[in-house]
A and B are shown apart, each in its own frame.
Chain A
Amino acid sequence: MVKIIKTKLIWIFLSILGAVAFSTIALSQDESINALWFITAAVCIYLVAYRFYGAWIAAKVLVLDEFRETPAVKINNNRDFIPTNKWVVFGTHFAAIAGPGPLVGPTLAAQFGYLPGTIWILVGAVLGGAVQDMTILFFSVRRNGKTLGQMAKEELGQLAGKASLIATFVIMIILISVLGLVVVNAMKHSPWATSTVAATIPIAILIGFYMRFIRPGRVLEATAIGVTLLLFAVYLGGEIDKSETLRVYFDHGGLFLAWSIILYGFAAAVLPVWMLLAPRDYLSTFVKLGTIIFLAIAIAILQPDIKMPAITNFVDGSGPIFGGSLFPFVFITIACGAISGFHALISSGTTPKLIDNEKYIPMIGYGGMLLESFVAIMAMVAACVLEPGVFFAINSPVGIVGSDPSMVIQTINSWGFPVTQNQMDQLAKDVGETTLFARTGGAPSLAVGMASIFANAFGKNLLAMWYHFAIMFEAVFILTTLDAGTRVGRFMLQDILGNIHPKLGRTSWLPSTILTSAIVVACWGYFLYIGVIDPNGGVNILWPLFGIANQILAAIALSVGTAILIRTGRIRFAWITGMPLTWLAIITSTAAFQKIFSEDVRVGFLSAANSMIEKVNTGLLTEEKISIMNQLIFNLRFDAVITAILTIVLWLVIFDVLKLLISNKYKQFEAVN
Chain B
Amino acid sequence: MFKSIWKFIRTLSGDDAYEVYLNNFTICVNHPDKQPLSRKDFYHQQLQEKWNKINRCC
Query: Which residues does A use to contact B, with CB under 8 Å?
Result: 76, 78-80, 82, 85, 87-88, 91-92, 96-97, 99-101, 168, 175, 211-213, 216-220, 223, 273-274, 277-278, 281, 286, 335-336, 340, 342-343, 345-346, 349-350, 480-481, 484-485, 487-488, 491, 507, 546, 550
Contacts and interface: CB of A to CB of B under 8 A. Distances in A.
Given A80-B49, A278-B47, A343-B57, A219 B15 contact: yes
B12 to A, nearest CB: 5
Contacts of A485: 56
Contact of B55 (A78, A82, A218, A484): A484
Contacts of A101: 57-58
Contacts of B14: 88, 219
Interface in B1-42: 8-15, 17-18, 21, 24-25, 28-29, 39-40, 42
A273 B51 contact: yes
Contact of B57 (A78, A281, A481, A487): A481
Nearest to B44: A274
Contact of B51 (A217, A219, A340, A487): A487
Contacts of A175: 57-58
A219 B13 contact: yes
Contacts of A278: 47, 50-51
Nearest to B21: A78
B39 A99 contact: no
Contact of B15 (A92, A218, A336, A480): A218
A102 to B, nearest CB: 8
User: Which one of A100, A217, A219, A278 has the greatest number of beta carbons of chain B within 10 Å?
Assistant: A217
B53 A350 contact: yes
Contacts of B58: 99-101, 175, 335-336, 340, 342, 481, 546, 550
Which of B14, B45, B52, B58 gathers most chain A CB within 10 Å? B58
B10 A350 contact: no
Given A217-B40, A349-B53, A480-B56, 10 more contacts: A79-B45, A85-B11, A217-B18, A223-B13, A273-B50, A342-B57, A346-B54, A346-B57, A350-B53, A550-B58
A335 B43 CA distance: 35
17 contacts: A80-B49, A85-B11, A96-B57, A99-B58, A216-B43, A217-B15, A218-B15, A220-B15, A274-B44, A274-B47, A278-B50, A336-B57, A343-B57, A346-B54, A481-B56, A481-B57, A491-B52
- 9 tightest Cβ-Cβ pairs between the two chains A and B: A101-B58, A217-B43, A484-B56, A342-B57, A216-B40, A216-B43, A273-B51, A220-B15, A219-B15
B27 to A, nearest CB: 10
A82 B47 contact: no
Interface centre among B24, B50, B51 (most CB of A within 10 A): B51
Determine which residue in A219, A340, A507 has the highest number of CB atoms from chain B within 10 A of its CB, and name it: A219
A223 B48 CA distance: 19
B45 to A, nearest CB: 7
Contacts of A96: 55-57
A484 B12 contact: no
Nearest to B29: A78
Between B28, B39, B47, B48, the greatest number of chain A beta carbons within 10 A of the residue's beta carbon is seen for: B47
Contacts of B44: 212, 216, 274
Contacts of B25: 78
A76 B43 contact: no
A358 to B, nearest CB: 21
Given A78-B21, A219-B13, A349 B54 contact: yes
Contacts of A343: 57
Contacts of B18: 217
A91 B48 contact: no
A23 B24 CA distance: 52
A278 B51 CA distance: 8
Which one of B53, B55, B56 has the highest number of Cβ atoms from chain A below 10 Å of its Cβ?
Answer: B56
B55 to A, nearest CB: 5
A274 B49 CA distance: 12
Contacts of A211: 43
B26 to A, nearest CB: 11
A267 to B, nearest CB: 15
A219 B18 CA distance: 11
Contacts of B43: 211-212, 216-217, 274
Contacts of B57: 96-97, 99, 101, 175, 336, 340, 342-343, 345-346, 481
Nearest to B48: A273
A277 B55 contact: no
Contacts of A481: 56-58
